[in-house]
Copies of this chain bind each other. A is one copy, B any other.
């Protein structure tokens, strides 16, 4: 077996050492030297040999030394390899899952459930928990209603899935009387109640492209109103709920106040975080961003462990946990996984 220093495929021994080092660093938070690692790894090697291998791992970018005589710590790449190839997660026991399930009473409305999930994540992990607020594409419309507010402003009320109520103020091009609105609402209710939002969008598109000859005045007005109601306004950005941000303050990695400030400003700004979370929507299962992998500078030294949550029919959003790169992934991953499943299940529309 010839050794190839720059080869991405690591020797068995090197992997074992990397694993031991990452595990120890996650536990202790301090650089590890060759002597300690020899003891820790279980391998029957001398410190000198371990030193050679560690030097190789450093060359390959998996480790680095804070300074000459401080032992070594994992790089982002080191964590990545650890997470991808060396990590064994213990799934939660049924009993523990049962404990969590208590917090997701299907009767509650979505906002409360999402809050719960976020708090739960932060509480279980002692890190920052984050849950995106779902923007539904599906969901069955139960009722539509309109109330005139003042000249040219109409309040539209949309009830989806029994528990979700959406208000939107529509600015109209002309006044609509109460009876007129009632007609419109009757028409739209007759047409759309019981259908999915997605279906409705399609139907609307269809109606608008169709020959308008066969429409009554009422219909075409109603369809125009509905179109505006079902178009997500551009300024309404996605949003998320976060809990336990302050947990991050205790980590030595963030003792730098300036860095901490930037992070919290990013949390408030929401833009970058949303964008990052959105990227997790595409893939199933637990996803992990380590350090600068995400491309955002504020995430230097931080990891994000996420999972989508979804009903039987539809992907709703993303939830996860933000903490320093030095977190016990084996414990965090199943927590995020299970929380996502429980939340998704609790948000399933009821029969």
Query: Residues of A at under 8 Å CB distance from B?
Result: 109, 142-143, 145, 147-150, 153, 155, 157, 159, 162-163, 165, 167, 169, 245-246, 249-250, 255, 257, 260-261, 264-265, 268
- CB-CB < 8 A to A147: which residues of B? 143, 145, 157, 159
Contact of A257 among B145, B150, B167, B250 (CB under 8 A): B250
Given contacts A143-B148, A246-B268, 11 further A-B contacts (CB under 8 A): A157-B157, A163-B169, A245-B264, A245-B268, A246-B264, A246-B265, A249-B261, A249-B264, A250-B261, A255-B257, A257-B257
The smallest beta-carbon distance between A262 and chain B, in angstroms, is 8
The smallest beta-carbon distance between A275 and chain B, in angstroms, is 20
Contact of A162 among B150, B245, B249 (CB under 8 A): B150
B249 touches A257 (CB 8 A): yes
CA distance A147 to B164 in the complex (A): 12
CA distance A257 to B142 in the complex (A): 50
The smallest beta-carbon distance between A137 and chain B, in angstroms, is 22
CA distance A249 to B250 in the complex (A): 14
CA distance A249 to B109 in the complex (A): 36
A155 touches B150 (CB 8 A): no
CA distance A19 to B320 in the complex (A): 52
Contact of A246 among B145, B153, B163, B261 (CB under 8 A): B261
The smallest beta-carbon distance between A118 and chain B, in angstroms, is 12
The smallest beta-carbon distance between A149 and chain B, in angstroms, is 6
- CB-CB < 8 A to A153: which residues of B? 162
CA distance A169 to B142 in the complex (A): 15
The smallest beta-carbon distance between A296 and chain B, in angstroms, is 17
A-B contact list, 7 entries, CB within 8 Å: A147-B159, A149-B159, A153-B162, A165-B167, A246-B264, A249-B264, A250-B261
Closest to A252 in B: B257
Closest to A168 in B: B165
- CB-CB < 8 A to A260: which residues of B? 249
The smallest beta-carbon distance between A348 and chain B, in angstroms, is 15
Most chain B beta-carbon neighbours within 10 Å: one of A155, A162, A250: A155
A162 touches B149 (CB 8 A): yes
A155 touches B159 (CB 8 A): yes
- CB-CB < 8 A to A264: which residues of B? 245-246, 249
- CB-CB < 8 A to A142: which residues of B? 149
The smallest beta-carbon distance between A1 and chain B, in angstroms, is 49
The smallest beta-carbon distance between A185 and chain B, in angstroms, is 11
- CB-CB < 8 A to A246: which residues of B? 261, 264-265, 268
The smallest beta-carbon distance between A321 and chain B, in angstroms, is 17
- CB-CB < 8 A to A167: which residues of B? 157, 165, 167
Closest to A163 in B: B149
CA distance A150 to B147 in the complex (A): 21
